């Protein structure tokens, strides 16, 4: 199980830690508050906030920052045992804890998104390299078709992708290279509304200006919303498939009859 999945499955425990850990730290340090400067208390609470924010759970980071500000006020500002603050410097410290918590949380989330995007891009590049190597090695086009079908299904989050050695029919939903789906003269962005669930979307397979066939992209059980990068990779895979199929008459369809546009 990936780390992100583990953290997601333990979200309640993480949020509970974020909310109650500042109480434990602030209350424990309050025992020596006459000898411990506020700077030490603040640093200890910041460590708790950073630990909560590093999980990538937004509510954990925000909860830790709010909790830290409240318990710092309760245990370490005069009058003790209340949420009143009479010292301007203490007000600044409480606000700083809130700001630090929100900032660190958002930075952690940004870092996780960047890492996830980098991992996805690396996986897409590996897919393209593997397919290009298959074409360069002159593997049988049937094997390349199966490989591309599997890769497109995973890449675009589809129920299935099926090669059909005929051009898209009239009125079929066709995916263009700019990510727009055109059907019966009506165009819409695939990334905004996702792929339609009531019809297959045809990904044209061209080579040297000639349409060799299509790959029918089917997402009938759920809505697929591919990213712009995923769509670019999908067309690169289609180009590789076109190069493989152009070497001979091309592979036959998996289906005994072409997949209909309606599913």
**pLDDT at res. 256:** 38
**pLDDT at res. 217:** 93
**pLDDT at res. 257:** 36
The closest of 71, 68, 62 to 101, measured between CA atoms, is 62
**pLDDT at res. 20:** 92
| H or E element at residue 226 | none
**pLDDT at res. 204:** 92
Q: Are strands 201-207 and 173-175 parallel, antiparallel or unpaired?
A: parallel
Taking the model in full, what pTM does it have? 0.54
Radius of gyration of the chain (CA): 28
Give the count of beta carbons closer than 10 Å to the beta carbon of residue 189.
12
pLDDT, mean of each 10-residue run, the chain (263 residues): 57 85 90 85 89 84 88 84 76 83 83 73 70 66 85 88 89 88 81 81 89 91 83 86 74 46 43
**pLDDT at res. 2:** 54
**pLDDT at res. 151:** 86
From edge to edge, which strands make up the β-sheet containing 180-183? 160-164, 210-218, 201-207, 173-175, 180-183, 186-189
């Amino acid at each position: 199980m990936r780390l992100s999945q583990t953290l997601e499955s333990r979200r309640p425990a993480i949020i509970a830690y974020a909310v109650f850990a500042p109480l434990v730290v602030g209350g424990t340090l309050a025992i020596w508050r006459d000898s411990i400067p506020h700077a030490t208390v603040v640093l200890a609470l910041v460590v708790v906030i950073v630990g909560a924010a590093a999980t990538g759970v937004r509510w954990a980071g925000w909860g830790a920052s709010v909790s830290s500000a409240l318990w710092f006020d309760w245990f370490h500002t005069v009058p003790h045992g209340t949420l009143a603050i009479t010292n301007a410097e203490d007000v600044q410290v409480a606000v700083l804890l809130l700001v630090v918590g929100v900032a660190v949380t958002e930075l952690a989330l940004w870092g996780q998104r960047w890492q996830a995007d980098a991992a996805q891009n690396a996986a897409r590049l590996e897919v393209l390299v593997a397919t290009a190597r298959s074409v360069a090695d002159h593997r049988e086009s049937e094997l390349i078709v199966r490989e591309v079908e599997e890769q497109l299904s995973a890449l675009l989050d589809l129920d299935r992708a099926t090669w059909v050695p005929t051009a898209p029919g009239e009125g079929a939903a066709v995916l263009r290279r700019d990510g727009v789906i055109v059907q019966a003269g009506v165009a819409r962005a695939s990334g905004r509304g996702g792929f339609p669930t009531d019809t297959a979307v045809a990904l044209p397979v061209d080579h040297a200006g000639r349409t060799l066939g299509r790959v029918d992209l089917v997402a009938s059980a759920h809505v697929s919303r591919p990213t712009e990068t995923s769509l670019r990779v999908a067309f690169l895979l289609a180009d590789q498939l076109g190069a493989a199929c152009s070497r001979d008459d091309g592979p036959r369809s998996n289906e005994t009859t072409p997949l209909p546009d309606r599913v």
